[in-house]
Structure 1
């Protein structure tokens, strides 16, 4: 919202989502500098702040820090912008939360993520700074995104030892198809097992429908990460359930993800048609026989 999706469409989608009972909104301070030549982020927060005026209390609002750039020219021309991420130092966090609150027109956010795990800054510094802004009332909960599983365990240990606020959400790429291997940005088998052993942590699953893979799209690099010996069988299971219910494969997958109280799928409709394609999944119930097909 606020970049590739214009204000009018963004407002229409947000209104419909709230009317349907939706309440979780996920954004970031860097959204979305890469969508325009002179962009430096902040556009989505600014528009959401405007659209939420008078109804801030109706939503659980999440935003992120650490993936703004220190050099936008280099970030646009180099193969990867990641070397230019500002990171998660105490200074960045303190400055970042104040800037986000100003753009969002609110006194606090419900959830504040470290957007991309910063391995260069001492973890103690990041955790202590996050604890400070929680105690200051600017943030209710903290989370991490694009992070290794072993780092999550390290964070929890440090937080327990120092009495700091413990992260309760991890945001990773996650879907019905299992990835060939886990990664820093993908919830692989190790993270799923870790989550089972830590039921107080929620998985916010981004790219849950893999950009159309469940509708037969295989022309995107993302798909390659999910090609394995089980892929065809799983895609066939999704197609079977979708046909029986008269819905799309993507809607089946979103409903399957919502079966777990520990998983919150994040959808990103760019157009009104995209939003309408998600709506049937909000209340789609999978019967035991459908779950058996998907889980066998």
Structure 2
């Protein structure tokens, strides 16, 4: 069964294993999505995550909004909105997905201007069939819009009761510190969650990704316990289980090197000793972390992948196991 942790310093208890719904409504059909969501709740899970732009990229005809639409239908069919702590995101909507689908070019995101976020939030509420969002993220940090404009708009959404808490994702530490300072200065609601890519492998020296947690960001989170780390892509698209998949995989670009090789060797050996998969062991390792305590966000595409992730809840790691993995 699931265990919970406090979200920041809000007093809100949420599942330490959060269910991402990114592919629901596209690669995962509606009936299968309903079953996976039901299964997650049956294990005691309570924290479901999506975004307004999920998911425009799987196939022609996908535009974004599909995941929220399926979740809205699930809420309506089950009458369970009050049982779920729900997060979604704005600012990363893509207006012309056909221009970018299957191409390496970075899409042009909608951004975090006040009017843009207002329209995005209203669209999310409509698709979800709800009157409020528990946690609303700025999905991709927008350096072209003054932070004051974005934060003032978010404060207005909180005051209007449309969102309860705010978060940020894909953001550098110096920007996060500036956000917190502005919130303190103006009395605006401050972020209570930081959603970043975080896994057992550590980024290599010189890796330059605003999305991956590095040592500086971990130190910042330790010094600011009012913000919870929500760790997305914790198994890096499943590369831990398959050495052939790791070879040349895009997820390894920021991690490959001697440190990764050593950690993978220890992980694989311990997983074999415990009779679990390396992917499951990574999830269990994250669920055992306390400094800081992350919320681990999994995004399974199939019921089998969900069951594999849920299996990590039953893996108990001793201090010796954790020392071995961290050594």
Q: TM-score, normalised by structure 2?
A: 0.87
Is the contact between residue 170 and residue 204 of structure 1 (CA under 8 Å) also seen in structure 2? Answer: yes
Q: Is 2:157 the counterpart of 1:130?
A: no
Select the residue among 309, 312, 315 that pairs with 1:278. Answer: 309
Q: Which consecutive unaligned segments of at least 5 residues does structure 2 have? A: 1-23
Q: TM-score, normalised by structure 1?
A: 0.96
Deviation at 1:79, TM superposition (A): 3.8
- Give the distance between the partners of 1:143 and 1:283, measured in 2 at CA: 29
Is the contact between residue 94 and residue 110 of structure 2 (CA under 8 Å) also seen in structure 1? Answer: yes
- Give the distance between the partners of 2:240 and 2:314, measured in 1 at CA: 19
- Give the distance between the partners of 1:8 and 1:81, measured in 2 at CA: 32
Alignment correspondent of 2:213: 187
Tell which deviates more after alignment, 131-140 or 231-240: 231-240
The alignment of Structure 1 onto Structure 2 pairs a total of residues equal to 295
Select the residue among 220, 228, 232 that pairs with 2:261. Answer: 232
- More contact order relative to length (CA 8 Å, sep ≥ 6): 2
3-state DSSP of counterpart to 2:234: coil
- Give the distance between the partners of 2:86 and 2:297, measured in 1 at CA: 13
3-state DSSP of counterpart to 2:298: coil
Is the contact between residue 26 and residue 62 of structure 2 (CA under 8 Å) also seen in structure 1? Answer: no
* CA displacement, residues 239-290 of structure 1 (integer Å, 9 cap, x when unaligned): 2221222111111111111123520111111012211211211232211111
- Give the distance between the partners of 2:66 and 2:276, measured in 1 at CA: 34
Q: Which consecutive unaligned segments of at least 5 residues does structure 1 have? A: none
- Give the distance between the partners of 2:176 and 2:82, measured in 1 at CA: 30
Question: Structure 1 runs of 4+ off > 4 angstroms?
Answer: none
Cα RMSD (Å): 1.4
Select the residue among 225, 246, 261 that pairs with 1:218. Answer: 246
Q: Is 2:88 the counterpart of 1:70?
A: no
Select the residue among 25, 44, 58 that pairs with 1:35. Answer: 58
- Give the distance between the partners of 1:72 and 1:230, measured in 2 at CA: 37
- Give the distance between the partners of 1:227 and 1:169, measured in 2 at CA: 28
